[in-house]
């Protein structure tokens, strides 16, 4: 199963400038997701990071992986999130940055579900540019209800 930007917008609450998944190539509920983030010079963070040599911030690469992980979690649970719930980071472990990501790159986001227990999801995630590993990390995420 794949998903275009319209399907992504129905699942994720994020909007510009923080929506960091452009397309889902493949999603296998309970197993894995492969998604894309097209990196352009028009990204607002490039104005300050770094103007003389624009590089995508590592924390935003991790956020892109977390958004892909959220899409995998929603597909695994067979739920569509609503305005009464938020999907949060619960932890980031073993994050390693291997290469810079620059304007014009296409970031391939590969996330695998490692385990799911008591509403906490653990993922093994990596992002690559043209088969070259850019970042890898273990992510923990959870969905919580928003209290009024």
Rounded distance between C-alpha atoms, residue 43 and residue 20, angstroms: 10
Sequence-distant (≥ 6) Cβ neighbours of residue 72 within 8 angstroms? 27, 29, 32, 33, 111, 113, 123
Average pLDDT score over residue span 53-60: 97
User: What is the end-to-end Cα distance of the chain in Å, rounded?
Assistant: 35
65 touches 137 (CB < 8 A)? yes
Computed over every residue of the chain, the mean pLDDT equals 95
Write down the pLDDT at residue 148: 63
The average pLDDT across 26-34 equals: 98
Catalytic residue among 6, 14, 49, 52: 49
All residues at 6 or more sequence positions from 21 whose CB lies less than 8 Å from its CB, including other chains: 8, 12, 35, 36, 37, 64, 67, 68, 71, 109
Structural domains for the chain: 5-145 (3.10.129.10)
pLDDT the model gives residue 85: 84
pLDDT > 70: what percent of the chain?
99
Express each pLDDT in 77-117 by its tens digit: 999 888 888 889 999 999 999 999 999 999 999 999 999 99
The reply to whether 6 belongs to the active site is no
């Amino acid at each position: 199963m794949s998903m275009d930007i319209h399907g992504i917008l129905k699942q994720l609450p994020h909007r510009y400038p923080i929506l960091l998944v452009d397309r889902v190539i493949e999603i296998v509920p309970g197993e894995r997701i492969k998604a894309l983030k097209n990196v352009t010079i028009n990204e607002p963070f490039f104005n300050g990071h770094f103007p003389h040599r624009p590089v995508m911030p590592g924390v935003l690469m991790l956020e892109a992986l977390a958004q892909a992980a959220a899409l995998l979690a929603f597909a695994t649970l067979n739920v569509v999130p609503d305005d009464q719930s938020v999907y949060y980071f619960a932890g980031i472990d073993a994050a390693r940055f291997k290469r810079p990501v620059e304007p014009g790159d296409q970031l391939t986001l590969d996330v695998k579900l490692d385990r799911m227990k008591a509403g906490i999801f653990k993922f093994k995630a990596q992002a690559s540019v043209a088969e070259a590993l850019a970042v890898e990390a273990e992510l923990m995420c959870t969905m919580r209800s928003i209290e009024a």
